[in-house]
Amino acid sequence: MRFSRVAGVVLALLFAYTSAAQELALRFDAIAGPSFFAEKITATFRVAHESELDLRMAEVNVVGNRWRDVRIRCPAITQDRDNLICAQGMVEAPAAIPVSFRYSTLTGNLDLELKPAADERWRLTIVAGTSPAARETTLVVEKMPHTRLAPWWPATWPKLNAGLVSGKILLTARESNHVKADLNVTNLGFADASGLHAGEHVAATLSIEGQRRGEQWQWQSRLEWKAGDVLWQPVFVSGAGHVLDATGLLDNKQLVVMRGNLSLVGVGNLEFGATLNRTTSVLETATLKMFDIGLSEIYEKFLKPVLQGTALGDMRADGRMDIAFELRNGSVSSADLAFRGVSVEDKSRRFAVFGLNGRLPWHHEQLTAAVLKVSGGEILRVPFGAFDLPFEMRGVRLRVKNIEIPVLDGKLNVNDFATSGEGPDWRWRFSGAIVPIAMDKLTVALGLPVMHGTLSATIPAVSYQQSTLSIDGGLVFKVFDGTITARNVVLEQPLGKVPRLIADVDMRNLDLDLLTRTFAFGNITGRVDAHIANLELVNWIAARFDARLASSAGDFPRRISQAAVQSISSLGGAGAAAAIQRSFLRFFETFGYSSLGLSCRLESGVCHMGGIENVPQGYVIVKGGGIPAISVLGYNRSVGWNELIERLKRVTGGNVIVE
Amino acid sequence: MRTNHFVRFIGLVVLMHFAGSVAAQANLEVNTPAVAALQAGMQKRFAELSPLLSNGAVGLTRDGFVALRDANAVPLAQRQQVNGLVTAENQDRTALYREIARANNKPEWENDIRATFAQRWIDKAQGGWYFQNNAGAWTRK
Amino acid sequence: MRTLNLCCGLILFTLLAACVTINIYFPAAAAEKAADKIIDEVWQLRNSDKPALPPAK
């Protein structure tokens, strides 16, 4: 370097003068090197008792950073053969930084050390070599605080608030530009304004190596995240030895990851590749593959936070999966999922699926088809068994031709299941049938008192739209030797906070004998019809209905036992039940009646009641007939529903004392 | 025959005195099991929400909901849970306003009920809590 | 003169109509009362000395 030769001459002259106080000033317009540019340099050597160097530079540019009016002073500059040594220098402007350096005028090698803070050390070593191409530059940094990164830190990234960086960067220029950097970060902290993208106490190591060939860099990197917590809304991950390895290419237009592997401790390996367009910041292509990962871990850590608030947000998940995604221009273009023994269970027991096996190929445009196998599960507490699910998908549309789902001892046939629409307009429908299911099993599953009979249905259409399930046609329950038909069944928010069931229910020819024996109400023989219009169950509890019950037409025994009379009376409160005990009627086991009827319109917690006919005192519930006869009248038209239910529970719970 | 008539006559007319209460419809109906269940859930959640409201992490919005106002007021490891809490509370509130409207057979009242609650939540807020004023800016009580 | 009367009449009518339309069907006072009751329960504002008031019938 020209500078070194000049400096060499100057030194020789300088140290020729020993005792006299001499001053020698050198001026240079500019010195340039790789990533280095200095302007208007003045080097003043003062020789007194010791030699002093006063170096001023009007402007210094290092790797794009500019400093003005730099002044470096070396109060005792010494010479050792061809080496210029400054042991205790000081950068005085723009900031006070202790500096020491050794410069060889012969080789052009430089060894410079800055100590900006007590623990912090910057050491720049330049081995000039025989030619500019052979030069090796090494920068070693020890405990650099995060504040020094501020000028380089992209404005859109979360701001740094803590951390120390140590590392080594090596630049060589043999056949091509070569960079090798090893950095170690401790106690790194960062946060954006909202605090939803933040990290604390992050400890990590980063190694990058790159070679430039023409306009393109080939790079390899390894990032190891050892400790610390990071929140990247909505996901929260703690560092525990996760490792990211990647190799790729970089030029002005693109960043390419040719091979990438993310090893997440406790979850598994993610292989990935990507092409990022640097001008548009669009992820042009990307592939992700995960093999044999545990669904439990990936659900807890990554899926659950994203699915929070949805029906899938509170589950236990189990089993193993293979997951592959392909992205084009920033959106998912295809996916391939494989399930092995996957089970999911909603913690609120709204649904569960066990033993899901098979493949699910998906493409945003093309048709894909496969068969999934399910071992069983539960929906709204009704269990179902094993079945095969052959399906077709294209984009957001799903079609299933015909499947048979075993439910208890019967079946649900689902025909022509199809989804349509998008976003809030998304809906599905199918037609189907219920092949008879035993009522005793169903009532046990639903936690109701055991009833005997069957449930079957022919369903022209079941549709689901905007959180509402609608069933066309009727559900037919054959129970109590009669028929109960539920029509216009609508279920709002079936898996939501407050599910609402609306239906019209028609009951024909129910055998009161069976009914009263099931509910331990005493014994009434006869048959009844009932009609419940606009039945509304909110959270599976009756909130509204308009019900009418009356004896069926026809010839059949009509008797009512004393216990049943007691029960009915108890509904009227303790006082009424006592009345029958005191009379001589207590010697009779059963009484006759000609007809019975009751109506109740439930609205706002009040049951507005009526009977067969009105009488001056109220309304007739049981009209006497036969020998001996008994009549039961209702007095109050408006009854608190909760109170009535309480009394009914007490009666059927066997709390009525019959002497 | 005569016994029959006699018995029939004696056949007690059992008067059923249903001592139930008839709800007066002067007030807004809120006594449904659904509302009670939602209210109980919200009361239980309040134990966790209360400190977050006190330290300003969560604030009351002007349309009857809660929102994460300042995530930085919560330690990093707990911020994710706070978001879940806010989502769950808002789901309960939405269901509450809808259920009250339906309990009164007036689904169209849902917005008015939400607006009424919005005002009352803010009025009854404790000192130091944050709420959105009419302009949407966070204000401290 | 007649025009003036007509104008006054129209203005009066509009004002009356406006008054009538301000009378909203939604029972705001009752809603406020109901909201207060629920908020008191959720935020446990009535707690003072008694643990819980028995439900009014």
Across the interface, do B8 and A579 touch by the CB < 8 Å criterion? no
- pLDDT for residue B138 is more than 60: yes
The dihedral through the CA atoms of A571, A576, A581, A587 has a sign that is negative
Reported as a single tens digit per residue, the pLDDT across A376-385 is 999 999 999 9
Within a domain: residue C49?
Answer: no
Q: Does B35 touch chain C (CB under 8 A)?
A: yes
* Separation CA B101–CA A498 (nearest Å): 13
> Which pLDDT does position B75 carry in this prediction?
92
Arithmetic mean of pLDDT, B63-85: 92
* Interface chains of chain A (3 or more CB pairs under 8 Å): B
Reported as a single tens digit per residue, the pLDDT across A247-274 is 999 999 999 999 999 999 989 999 999 9
Q: Which residue has the higher pLDDT, B15 or B108?
A: B108
Give the three-class secondary structure for A32. strand
Reported as a single tens digit per residue, the pLDDT across B92-121 is 999 999 999 988 888 889 999 999 999 999
Min Cα–Cα distance to chain A from B84, Å:
7
Q: Which two tokens stand for residue A62?
A: 């290092």
> Which pLDDT does position C10 carry in this prediction?
60
Q: Which residue does chain B place closest to C24, by CA atoms?
A: B112
Q: Does B7 touch chain A (CB under 8 A)?
A: yes
Q: Which two tokens stand for residue A10?
A: 């100057």
Percentage above 70 pLDDT, chain A? 92
* Separation CA A43–CA A66 (nearest Å): 20
DSSP-assigned states of every residue in A643-659: HHHHHHHHIIIII----
| C5 confidence band (pLDDT: 50, 70, 90) | low
Strand A159-172 to strand A136-145: parallel, antiparallel, or no bridges (unpaired)?
A: antiparallel
* Separation CA A489–CA A504 (nearest Å): 7
> Which pLDDT does position A656 carry in this prediction?
36
> Which pLDDT does position B26 carry in this prediction?
53
Lowest mean pLDDT among A202-206, A220-224, A402-406, A495-499: A495-499
> Which pLDDT does position A8 carry in this prediction?
61
Arithmetic mean of pLDDT, A79-89: 86
Across the interface, do A631 and B70 touch by the CB < 8 Å criterion? no
Arithmetic mean of pLDDT, A45-59: 81
Q: Which two tokens stand for residue B68?
A: 């994460």
Q: Which two tokens stand for residue A636?
A: 């109050």
* Interface chains of chain C (3 or more CB pairs under 8 Å): B
Contacts of B46 in chain C (CB under 8 A): 42-44
Strand A65-74 to strand A83-93: parallel, antiparallel, or no bridges (unpaired)?
A: antiparallel
| A34 confidence band (pLDDT: 50, 70, 90) | low
Within a domain: residue C11?
Answer: yes
Give the three-class secondary structure for A351. strand
* Separation CA C16–CA A249 (nearest Å): 77
DSSP-assigned states of every residue in A600-658: EEEETTEEEEEESSEETTEEEEEEE-SSSB-EEEE--SEEEHHHHHHHHHHIIIII---
Per the listing, tokens 């990211």 go with: A244
> Which pLDDT does position B18 carry in this prediction?
45
Residues in chain C: 57
- pLDDT for residue B9 is more than 70: no
Omega before A628 within 30 of 0, i.e. cis:
yes
Across the interface, do B7 and A633 touch by the CB < 8 Å criterion? no
Are the C-beta atoms of A393 and A362 separated by less than 8 Å? yes
DSSP-assigned states of every residue in chain B: -HHHHHHHHHS-EEEE---PPPPPTTSPP---HHHHHHHHHHHHHHHHHHHHHHTTSEEE-TTS-EEE--GGGS-GGGHHHHHHHHHHHHHHHHHHHHHHHHHTT-GGGHHHHHHHHHHHHHHTPPTT-EEE-TTS-EEE-
Q: Does C34 touch chain B (CB under 8 A)?
A: yes
Chain B interface, best mutation among A581, A604, A606, A619, by max B CB count within 10 A: A604
Contacts with B, A 201-230, CB within 8 Å: 229
- pLDDT for residue A231 is more than 60: yes
The domains of chain B are located at 29-131
The mean pLDDT of chain A is 88
Residue at B98: amino acid letter: R
* Separation CA A549–CA A597 (nearest Å): 5
* Separation CA A614–CA A595 (nearest Å): 14
Nearest to A590 by CA among A655, A526, A519, A635: A526
Across the interface, do B112 and C35 touch by the CB < 8 Å criterion? no
Are the C-beta atoms of A594 and A558 separated by less than 8 Å? yes
Phi first, then psi, for residue A477 (nearest 5°) are -105, 120
> Which pLDDT does position A143 carry in this prediction?
94
Nearest to A152 by CA among A63, A254, A91: A63
> Which pLDDT does position A575 carry in this prediction?
56
Per the structure, the complete domain to which residue C17 belongs is given by 2-42
* Separation CA A21–CA B5 (nearest Å): 148
Across the interface, do C38 and B39 touch by the CB < 8 Å criterion? yes
Centre a 10 Å sphere on the Cβ of residue A578 and count the other Cβ atoms it contains: 12
The dihedral through the CA atoms of C31, C36, C41, C43 has a sign that is positive
Q: Which two tokens stand for residue A536?
A: 């509304």
Phi first, then psi, for residue A79 (nearest 5°) are -130, 135
Name residues whose C-beta falls within 8 Å of residue B31's C-beta, 6 or more positions apart in sequence.
Answer: A604, A605, B23, B103
Residue ranges of alpha helices (H) inside A536-596 are 562-570, 574-582
Nearest to C31 among B26, B116, B121 (CB): B116
* Separation CA A390–CA A402 (nearest Å): 8
Centre a 10 Å sphere on the Cβ of residue A459 and count the other Cβ atoms it contains: 20
Q: Which residue has the higher pLDDT, B33 or B63?
A: B63
* Separation CA A440–CA A458 (nearest Å): 21
Are the C-beta atoms of A542 and A602 separated by less than 8 Å? yes
> Which pLDDT does position A561 carry in this prediction?
87
Q: Which residue does chain B place closest to C55, by CA atoms?
A: B31
Q: Which two tokens stand for residue A627?
A: 């020998």
Across the interface, do B20 and A629 touch by the CB < 8 Å criterion? no
Are the C-beta atoms of A230 and A202 separated by less than 8 Å? yes
Instruction: Please tell me what DSSP assigns to residue A481.
Output: T
Q: Which residue has the higher pLDDT, A415 or A458?
A: A415
Min Cα–Cα distance to chain B from A564, Å:
13
Min Cα–Cα distance to chain C from B137, Å:
23
Arithmetic mean of pLDDT, B59-64: 95
Are the C-beta atoms of B137 and B67 separated by less than 8 Å? no
> Which pLDDT does position C1 carry in this prediction?
60
Percentage above 90 pLDDT, chain B? 63
| C3 confidence band (pLDDT: 50, 70, 90) | low
Across the interface, do A538 and B32 touch by the CB < 8 Å criterion? yes
Centre a 10 Å sphere on the Cβ of residue A154 and count the other Cβ atoms it contains: 6
Residue at A362: amino acid letter: W
Across the interface, do A591 and B37 touch by the CB < 8 Å criterion? no
Name the percent of chain A in helix, strand, coil, to the closest 5.
15, 60, 25
Per the listing, tokens 């008015």 go with: B112
Q: Does A232 touch chain B (CB under 8 A)?
A: no
Burial class (CB in 10 A: 0-12, 13-18, 19+), A161: middle
- pLDDT for residue A92 is more than 80: yes
Give the total number of structural domains in chain C: 1
Contacts of B102 in chain A (CB under 8 A): 500, 538
Reported as a single tens digit per residue, the pLDDT across A506-548 is 999 999 988 888 888 888 999 999 999 999 999 898 999 999 9
Arithmetic mean of pLDDT, B51-77: 94
- pLDDT for residue A16 is more than 60: no
Nearest to B87 among A308, A591, A617 (CB): A308
Nearest to C45 among B30, B116, B124 (CB): B124
Q: Does C26 touch chain B (CB under 8 A)?
A: yes
- pLDDT for residue A29 is more than 80: no
Centre a 10 Å sphere on the Cβ of residue B49 and count the other Cβ atoms it contains: 20
Q: Which residue has the higher pLDDT, B27 or A423?
A: A423
Within a domain: residue C54?
Answer: no
Across the interface, do B16 and A585 touch by the CB < 8 Å criterion? no
Lowest mean pLDDT among A203-217, A586-600, B49-63: A586-600
DSSP-assigned states of every residue in A306-333: HHTTSTTSSEEEEEEEEEEEEEETTEEE
Q: Which residue has the higher pLDDT, A322 or A617?
A: A322
CB contacts < 8 A, A to B, total 169
Q: How far apart are the first and last CA of chain B?
A: 84
* Separation CA A228–CA A613 (nearest Å): 78
* Separation CA C57–CA C43 (nearest Å): 22
Nearest to A222 by CA among A274, A266, A262: A262
Q: Does B1 touch chain A (CB under 8 A)?
A: no
Q: Which residue does chain B place closest to A304, by CA atoms?
A: B84
Centre a 10 Å sphere on the Cβ of residue A284 and count the other Cβ atoms it contains: 15
Residue at B139: amino acid letter: T
Nearest to B17 among A575, A624, A632 (CB): A575
| A568 confidence band (pLDDT: 50, 70, 90) | confident
> Which pLDDT does position A394 carry in this prediction?
94
Across the interface, do B46 and C27 touch by the CB < 8 Å criterion? no
* Separation CA B123–CA B130 (nearest Å): 12
* Separation CA A526–CA A513 (nearest Å): 7
DSSP-assigned states of every residue in A42-59: EEEEEESSSEEEEEEEEE
Burial B8-46 (b: 16+ CB within 10 A, else e): beebbbbbbbbebeebeeebbbbbbbbbbbbbebbeeee
> Which pLDDT does position B22 carry in this prediction?
38
Q: Which residue does chain B place closest to A565, by CA atoms?
A: B14
> Which pLDDT does position B125 carry in this prediction?
94
Within a domain: residue C24?
Answer: yes
The torsion angle over the Cα atoms of residues A426, A427, A428 and A431, rounded to 10 degrees, is -160
Percentage above 90 pLDDT, chain A? 53
- pLDDT for residue A186 is more than 90: yes
Contacts of B35 in chain C (CB under 8 A): 38
Contacts with A, B 56-75, CB within 8 Å: 70-72, 74
Omega before A234 within 30 of 0, i.e. cis:
yes
Greatest pairwise CA separation for chain C in angstroms? 72
The domains of chain A are located at 498-655
Across the interface, do B12 and A236 touch by the CB < 8 Å criterion? no
Across the interface, do B46 and C44 touch by the CB < 8 Å criterion? yes
